[in-house]
Amino acid sequence: MLSKEAREDLERQQYRIVGDHSAVKVCGWTKNLLRGRGGCYKLKFYGIMSHQCLQMSTSLSCANRCVFCWRGYKAPVSKGWRWNVDDPAMILDESLRAQAKLLIGYRGSDKVLARLYEQAGTVKHVALSLTGEPITYPRINDLLNLFNQRGISTFLVTNAQYPDAIRALAPVTQLYLSLDAATKELLKKVDVPLFADYWERLQESLDALAAKEGRTCIRLTAVKGLNMTHPADYAKLILKGDPDFLEVKAYMHVGASRLRLTADHMPLHEEVRDFARDVLAYLPDYEFVSEHFPSRVVMIAHKRFKQRGQWRTWLDFPAFKRLSLSGEPFTGLDYSKLTPKACLGVTDKKTPSKEESRARKLKREERYTKLRERLTTAKAKRAAEEGDENELE
């Protein structure tokens, strides 16, 4: 699937290519949490432990060339699958091995919390969203079932161009559908799709999403000055897909997207929130639930996930494993549990100014230094006590 040059280019960017068409890369938030600096927004919204998350893809190829994508335009694109089909068990084992190898450099670092590093050795979650279109891998269902058997939860992201694959998909903990524009003309401009019937494929994918039994989420990537328009049309499409969750997330000015867009296209958190509020005005069965400032994302959920006045957006992983292997019908609510109070709420906070951020950063550094010192002292004290006990013995 990849030329030698493209493979080397990705390896230089800390990707590890697995087999012919899969890849792994340690997520920035996995590293962040290992350093005790907080997890990703999916930890806050759904209870995903970022330090035990494997970020990967089973296809480096895609049928879209979205202008906001961090991938370069040298990345493979294709409508159909025309490569070898690697064995799913090999992909799973080699991806876990690649992740473990990539994390070796963190072992023993005094910037990393040893307890979290130890836990990171057990992957509990896979994000099939790293790059390309993982759903096109012909044996995706075999791989998903292997993850389910191992009790590794699965988030899979699709760009809504493969409705048949969505219909046929094996149980996924949370299925994401990207909705990048609200009109046919704008979708062509934003996603630059290969398929001529890209709009019809989106419609069919929304219908297929609505029919899925597990948890579903529609994600809007908000690009300022490009697709933060037509809230009513977005709402119509969202209602068609009937998702359990809706994430409205800012475009991030990173990677090769900087060749196509400017930093001004990256909305502030409050601009994302206001746009989400505009869309929400047309979604009476949905409500704001939470936000994550660093990722400039807000989460909206269907009220069916609010029971007796309490939100249930966090995942019950053992329940999902049991249900996904049972062969019995189930709904997303069957493996959802209470959202901790600390993770709830959408404020009207504004993005801090540069000075404010700098001051906060300094404060955080002080806090981390104190935390590390306390941990180091406790460790030394424990070692000393153990030393004494051994002598006594």
Interface with ligand SF4 (CB under 6 A): 27, 29-30, 40, 42, 48, 50, 53, 55, 127
User: Residue 124 or residue 230: which is nearer to ligand SF4 going by CB?
Assistant: 124
Compute the least distance from the CB of residue 17 to ligand SF4, in Å.
Answer: 18
User: Residue 30 or residue 178: which is nearer to ligand SF4 going by CB?
Assistant: 30
User: Residue 47 or residue 241: which is nearer to ligand SF4 going by CB?
Assistant: 47
User: Residue 34 or residue 246: which is nearer to ligand SF4 going by CB?
Assistant: 34
Compute the least distance from the CB of residue 141 to ligand SF4, in Å.
Answer: 21
How many angstroms from the chain centroid is the CA of residue 335?
Answer: 19
User: Residue 42 or residue 265: which is nearer to ligand SF4 going by CB?
Assistant: 42
Compute the least distance from the CB of residue 12 to ligand SF4, in Å.
Answer: 20
User: Residue 56 or residue 182: which is nearer to ligand SF4 going by CB?
Assistant: 56
Structure-token pair, residue 35: 């350093």
User: Residue 130 or residue 246: which is nearer to ligand SF4 going by CB?
Assistant: 130
Q: How far is CA 153 from CA 124, 174, 181, in A?
A: 6, 8, 29
Compute the least distance from the CB of residue 110 to ligand SF4, in Å.
Answer: 23
User: Residue 120 or residue 181: which is nearer to ligand SF4 going by CB?
Assistant: 120
In this structure, are strands 53-57 and 22-24 parallel, antiparallel, or unpaired?
antiparallel
User: Residue 34 or residue 228: which is nearer to ligand SF4 going by CB?
Assistant: 34
CA 55 to CA 30: how far, in whole Å? 9
Compute the least distance from the CB of residue 30 to ligand SF4, in Å.
Answer: 5
Q: Give yes or no for a contact between 287 and 315, defined as CB atoms under 8 angstroms apart.
A: no
Compute the least distance from the CB of residue 248 to ligand SF4, in Å.
Answer: 16
Compute the least distance from the CB of residue 43 to ligand SF4, in Å.
Answer: 7
Q: How far is CA 324 from CA 61, 74, 75, 90, 279, in A?
A: 28, 37, 34, 22, 33
Compute the least distance from the CB of residue 296 to ligand SF4, in Å.
Answer: 13
Name the DSSP letter for residue 62.
B
CB atoms within 10 A of CB 151: 15
Compute the least distance from the CB of residue 127 to ligand SF4, in Å.
Answer: 4
26: Cβ contacts below 8 Å, ≥ 6 apart = 14, 55, 99, 102, 103
Compute the least distance from the CB of residue 32 to ligand SF4, in Å.
Answer: 9
In this structure, are strands 125-128 and 153-158 parallel, antiparallel, or unpaired?
parallel
CA 291 to CA 294: how far, in whole Å? 9
Q: Indicate the helix (H) or strand (E) that contains 205.
A: helix 198-210
User: Residue 234 or residue 317: which is nearer to ligand SF4 going by CB?
Assistant: 317
Q: Give yes or no for a contact between 315 and 335, defined as CB atoms under 8 angstroms apart.
A: yes
In this structure, are strands 153-158 and 174-178 parallel, antiparallel, or unpaired?
parallel
CA 229 to CA 222: how far, in whole Å? 9
User: Residue 54 or residue 226: which is nearer to ligand SF4 going by CB?
Assistant: 54
CA 32 to CA 368: how far, in whole Å? 12
Q: Give yes or no for a contact between 227 and 185, defined as CB atoms under 8 angstroms apart.
A: no
In this structure, are strands 22-24 and 16-18 parallel, antiparallel, or unpaired?
antiparallel
CB atoms within 10 A of CB 346: 16
Compute the least distance from the CB of residue 28 to ligand SF4, in Å.
Answer: 7
Helices (H) and strands (E) in the chain, counts: 13, 14
SS3 for 230? coil
Q: Indicate the helix (H) or strand (E) that contains 246.
A: strand 245-250
